[in-house]
Structure 1
Amino acid sequence: MLLVTTGCNTVPQVPAGPARDVHAEIEQRIPAKTPDRDGWAADIQTALAAQRIEPNTENICAVLAVIEQESGYRADPPVDNLPQIARQEIRRRASAVRIPGLMVDAGLKIRALDGISYGDKLARVRTERDLSRLYEEIIDRVPMGRRLFAGKNPVQTGGAMQVGIPFAQAHAQGYPYPVQSSIRDEVFSRRGGIYFGTMHLLGYQTPYTRKVHRFADYNAGWYASRNAAFQSAVAMATGITLELDGDVLVPDAALDKPGQTERAVRSLGPQLGMDERLIRRALEQADTLAFSDSELHHRVFDLAEARAGHALPRAMIPGIRLDSPKITRELTTEWFANRVDERYRQCLAR
């Protein structure tokens, strides 16, 4: 990929030749009424090229489907009732750390450097970028701010693909654009939201044969669909009912305090020929592709299929209910994955 300097900014330059055909295909598959289709296409093309992701029709449409679902082609989409949602979150956090409501109200009456109170600023926020920047200012300047938010900005997703900001910060190496302020701010830009969203969607190898399982992983986390199928196999092999959420290992759990899936797997220990330490070591691979080829994975499926009398799926959409103050109705990972898959198929047909 070439770079061209324009003034103070260094931006990726779309190469001449065959790559222009990729740009044209991306633009053609973006809905016709979308403003600046050329700009969206350029940012998507750059994201694919910078990450060495094959710019085939399937990958292009996968990215476009997530963008359409998450933001409707808006780089920093507005959120309904965001001031009320933000106030409720502030009060919830204040209650959790025993800060009286009167102190919260007093803090929000403090005036920022521009003379406007933080309460008035809060009433004006419309997008997650607005709210993120306001939270940063409150943490820095309002006496209770750091205690209220534990020094951590509560806005954890953003941009055209609603990608996780911690994910972007952890995968910033190789980002092809100059960072003007911070990776957090880049996520709220069109180019940054697309780059990190594309990485979260397509930047890892999977054993999947259908894109719908990537869409489920986009919502639930890498390999969640593979891991939910593993949990289902464990449940079949043991007769133990498990929550098929894709979380096979409790983070940082002590060996003597396993989660429900790990406990169920341990009950198969004699049949697996594995003790609890070997099982823990194998489950620690559950956030990698290697887990699919592990002895534990193979042996659990052998036991489960012998009991079921037929082959079992190696990928399954996790059963997760979506929990966010932005969501006003009961939605699930399955709903999200199928909705994006529907948009994906429409894109393929365009």
Structure 2
Amino acid sequence: MNRSRCLLAVAALAAGCTSTPQPSGAPERPADVRTRVLSLLPPTLADRAGWAQDLQVAFSALNLEPSVEQLCAAIAVAEQESGLRADPPVPRLGEIARRELDERAERAGVPRLAVAAALVLPSPDGRSWNERIAAVKTEHELSDLYEELIDRLPLGRRFLASRNPVRTGGPMQVSVAFAERQAERGYPYPMKGSVRDEVFTRRGGLYFGVAHLLEYEAPYDALIYRYADFNAGRWASRNAAFQNALAAVTGIPLVPDGDLLPPDAGRDTPPGATETAARSLASRLGLDADDIRRDLARGEGPGFEGSRLWQRVFTLAERQGRTLPRAALPRITLEGPKIQRKLTTEWFARRVEERQRRCVARADSPE
């Protein structure tokens, strides 16, 4: 696994401290933070002052240190995800949306002919639903259209089950579900509509995206692992390192994808590959099956690296004579209706890392 190497020595030093540094001493004046952000944003970006304002508010509200490195991390993710656009256009979105409707209808047992018949009906603006779907350019437009379709068409309620299939949005392509959980802890702006609506705004998308990227503790020595986590899920890089260590001890091949248990695993869920490998070491670890399941469940949150399972697996692995990294880029192939070519979480993380380096370099060479 390659470590992040910054082009600038000062950036490398600061980037190593990635346990979400908090402000120390007197807080900086908002105007000073905005000035710093302006020096980091691409010079050709439209409404740079507005972006600077929204980023400054996000860092202040989340009590995050507005360092050059952390500000550039947020800017780099937004640049990678949306080209620094609040509601970016998606190529062939109407076609993708229409195919998604057919697939969801099929899973719900709704005949395609019935879907086709419903979508040729006129919608409230006079166009057919098909025409409106074909015309959408952004996820915000599509999300609003889905909400209207669910509300107006009984057939839509049946196969969409009152669940809008647009699950991410905004300049950082943050999950709507994450934003809804985050908003329960507070939100620095008056809520004009739903949390979903706020995700598609620049201010809301940046606030929730920065929270997802930086507002959690993780045992990382480089920001690249946060970029991977942003794509794969919090703590995925930490968990992938554990899977690598477990594979080294057992000799059992494991895909280091960061998923330690099957989705929604309960007490009676059969063990997956990682749990099975860990159970094969039960006697050497001094842990039983319940202990192992309990510790693996901690992989969904902070502190797994303090568990007996983590510590004992790494102790066994390092008896082979070398120190193993405590973070690794997860090996995941990205999938989804918007993805048209083979991409991976590592590809995403390294692209963001490159953008963050260029952003940090702008701090030393202002306009």
Smaller-chain TM-score bracket:
over 0.9
The aligned amino acid for 2:142 is L
Give the structure 2 partner of residue 106 of structure 1.
117
AA of the residue aligned to 2:232: A
Aligned equivalent of 1:280:
293
- State the shift of 1:17 in Å: 7.1
C-alpha distance after superposition, 1:133-163 (max 9, x if no partner): 1111111111210111122110000000000
Q: Secondary structure at the match of 1:289?
A: coil
Quickly say closer, same or farther: Cα 1:119–1:33, change in 2 above 3 A.
Answer: same
Normalising by structure 1, report the TM-score: 0.93
Which has the higher mean CA deviation after the structures are superposed, 104-113 or 157-166? 104-113
Q: 1-side partners of 2:266 and 2:45: how far apart?
A: 51
Aligned match of 1:170: 181
1:154 and 2:126 matched:
no
Q: Deviating runs (4+, > 3 A) in structure 1?
A: none
In angstroms, what is the RMSD of aligned CA positions? Answer: 1.2
Please report how far the alpha carbon of residue 288 of structure 1 lies from its aligned counterpart in structure 2 after TM superposition: 2.1
Q: 1:29-74 deviations in whole A, cap 9, x for unaligned?
A: 0000000000000000000000001111111000000011111111
Long gaps (5+) in structure 2 = 1-26, 363-367
**How many correspondences in the alignment?**
334
After superposing the two structures, state which structure 1 stretch, 17-26 or 80-89, moved more: 17-26
Counterpart-to-counterpart distance in 1, 2:191 and 2:89: 23
One of 34, 48, 51 as aligned partner of 1:23? 34
Match of 1:259 in 2: 272
What is the CA distance between 1:252 and its match in structure 2?
Answer: 3.0
Q: For residues 293-342 of structure 1, give each alpha carbon's deviation from its aligned partner in whole angstroms, at most 9, with x where no partner exists.
A: 111111000111113x2111110000000001111110000000000000
Q: Aligned-pair distance for 1:115? A: 2.1
Q: Report the equivalent of 1:327.
A: 339
Aligned counterparts, 1:139-288, within 5 A:
139-172=150-183, 173-256=185-268, 257-288=270-301
> Do the aligned partners of residues 269 and 68 (structure 1) sit closer, same or farther apart at CA in structure 2, a change above 3 Å counting?
same
Residue 10 of structure 1 corresponds to: none
Matches within 5 A, 1:310-325: 310-325=322-337
Deviation at 1:254, TM superposition (A): 3.9
1:129 counterpart letter in structure 2: H
- Give, in angstroms, the shift of residue 97 of structure 1: 2.0
Deviations 1:91-146 (A, max 9, x none): 11122222222211111122222222211111110000011111111111112101
Question: Counterpart amino acid of 1:349?
Answer: A
Contact 1:248 / 1:283 at 8 angstroms: preserved in 2?
Answer: yes
Which letter maps to 2:105? A
Worse-matched range after superposition: 323-332 or 245-254: 245-254
- Matched residue type, 1:211: L
Q: Does 1:341 align with 2:356?
A: no
Measure, in 1, the Cα distance between the counterparts of 2:252 and 2:195. Answer: 43
Q: Distance in 2 between matches of 1:138 and 1:129?
A: 14
> Is the contact made by 1:305 and 1:311 (CA closer than 8 Å) also made in structure 2?
yes
Take 1:221 and 1:346, find their aligned partners in 2: how far apart are those partners? 25
Matches within 5 A, 1:61-72: 61-72=72-83
Which has the bigger relative contact order, CA under 8 A and spacing at least 6? 2
TM-score by length of 2: 0.89
Using the alignment, how far apart are the partners of 1:183 and 1:18 within structure 2?
A: 29
Aligned to 1:292: 305
Letter in structure 2 aligned against 1:206? A
**Letter paired with 1:133:** D
Rounded Cα–Cα distance in structure 1 between residues aligned with 2:311 and 2:57: 39
In structure 1, how many angstroms separate the alpha carbons of the residues matched to 2:81 and 2:288?
Answer: 44
Using the aligned pairs only, state the percent identity.
53
Q: Which amino acid aligns with 1:122?
A: I
The residue matched to 2:319 in structure 1 has which SS? helix
Distance between the aligned counterparts of 1:140 and 1:200, measured in 2?
A: 31
The CA distance in 2 between the partners of 1:248 and 1:39, in whole Å, is 41
